[in-house]
Amino acid sequence: MKKLILLFLLTLPAAAQESRWHDVAGALQKSAFTPTTVQQLDRAALQEINKHFPASSLAEAWEQHPEAPLLQWSAQAAAELLKDPYLTYLEPQAFASVMKKFDGDAQPNPGFSIVKDGPGQPVHVLEVDPNGPAQLRAGDVILSLNGHNTAELSIESARSELEGPAGSSLSVQTSQGQFQVERRVPDKRTVTFQALENGVGYLKIRNFAASTPAEVQQALGQLKTQNLLIDLRNNGGGLVSSAVQVCANFLPAGSQVVRLQRRHEMQPYLTDKSGNSTSKVVVLINGESASAAEIMASALHDHGRAKLVGSTSFGKGCVQRYLPLPDGGGLKFTSALYQTPAGHQIQGLGIDPDIKETLDPLSKAQGLLTSLMTGSRSF
């Protein structure tokens, strides 16, 4: 991936690259959660660049070394200065992939999803689709994708490697060996559902895209039940606005779903319509339920609308902004932290379920929902 960035930057004049850094620094100075100045960002960027190429100023660096991935190094310096582990430069392919996912535009993929524990760590398999590769299981560590060391890739870049034309092959290497996987056209739905026994509806939300609120509305209309199991396990989040709209199906109008703290300003997100306030709801979460999924789970829980079953959620209580850049790439950085309606912080802590269950959380959730429906307090 570094080679791709390098090759792209070789095609750009030095002045254009420096202009892009000015755009980045200005955006961070204005919108990053941690206050900073452009001068501080410039100094940090120059110090990082000097580890690779000596220069007396940023202007000199871009003038003398147009071949270097200066923007990537500068973003790395900004991440350290702002103590923002999510701040990163996304090369064009990865940035385009992220934007398409937000639009709900699923691309052909190899039938499995991945997550990354942190910088410098390889990715591992989150879930394998029913028709996904038989060689993989959830939790398997993937060492390389198409020959790229996954420990050196951002999670966005790694996920973009999964995508490609339908029918094309993806090279996957694990500790067990290397094999090829065919990419297929995926199911573009972010929501799946089914009717279970005893009038219980099962609603699984995979992620929160622009299309998710409408998909949830359709699912609720077809299920025609007031008793729901909402499965947010392995839901890595997505659009906060979509989570707020989905919560509106279960809360009165004007209910606070989340509070976003942008530096010294607190911004509440409220439901704009009244939903069903009498349905019985149990929400399933696990260690990969993150961001917008944690917003929804905590909102329904704090308002007394749902019980939580599973394991402690991921703990990603911050919101990233994506800044498009002229090269087609973009910058991701933290612009806000969020709190639950009850004022709890999620960042680094996660949400604890009412009932912890890792062996068979779905059965435990069904039993809890049955007790809620019958008025039993045995749970």
The per-residue pLDDT for range 12-33, each reduced to its tens digit, is 445 566 677 888 999 999 999 9
DSSP of 319-334:
EEEEEE-TTS-EEEEE
pLDDT means per 10 residues, the chain with 379 residues, are: 38 58 92 96 95 91 75 92 93 89 81 89 92 91 96 92 94 94 90 93 96 96 92 94 96 95 92 88 97 97 97 93 87 93 94 96 94 71
| Matching residue, tokens 């606070």 | 256
3-state helix/strand/coil string of 189-223: CCEEEEECHHHCEEEEECCECCCHHHHHHHHHHHH
CA 299 – CA 316 distance, rounded (Å): 15
CA 196 – CA 366 distance, rounded (Å): 10
CA 285 – CA 304 distance, rounded (Å): 16
Give the chain's end-to-end CA distance (angstroms, integer): 51
Helix residue ranges per DSSP H, 83-146 = 92-102
Quick check: 151 and 2 in contact, CB under 8 A? no
- pLDDT confidence of residue 70: 87
- pLDDT confidence of residue 66: 60
DSSP of 63-86:
HH-TTS-HHHHHHHHHHHHHT-TT
65, burial (CB in 10 Å: exposed 0-12, middle 13-18, buried 19+): middle
- pLDDT confidence of residue 8: 36
**How many CA atoms within 13 Å lie on the side-chain side of 203?**
27
Domains of the chain: 2-84 (no CATH), 108-182 (2.30.42.10), 191-374 (3.90.226.10)
Radius of gyration of the chain (CA): 22
- pLDDT confidence of residue 14: 54
254, burial (CB in 10 Å: exposed 0-12, middle 13-18, buried 19+): exposed
DSSP run (H or E) holding 62? helix 58-64
Give the contacts of 226 (CB within 8 A, at least 6 positions apart). 276, 278, 279, 280
How far is C-alpha 185 from the chain's CA centre?
21
364, burial (CB in 10 Å: exposed 0-12, middle 13-18, buried 19+): buried
| Matching residue, tokens 């911004």 | 267
The per-residue pLDDT for range 258-269, each reduced to its tens digit, is 999 998 899 999
How far is C-alpha 80 from the chain's CA centre?
21
| Matching residue, tokens 């002229």 | 326
Please state the length of the chain. Answer: 379
227-231 and 256-262 beta bridge pairing: unpaired
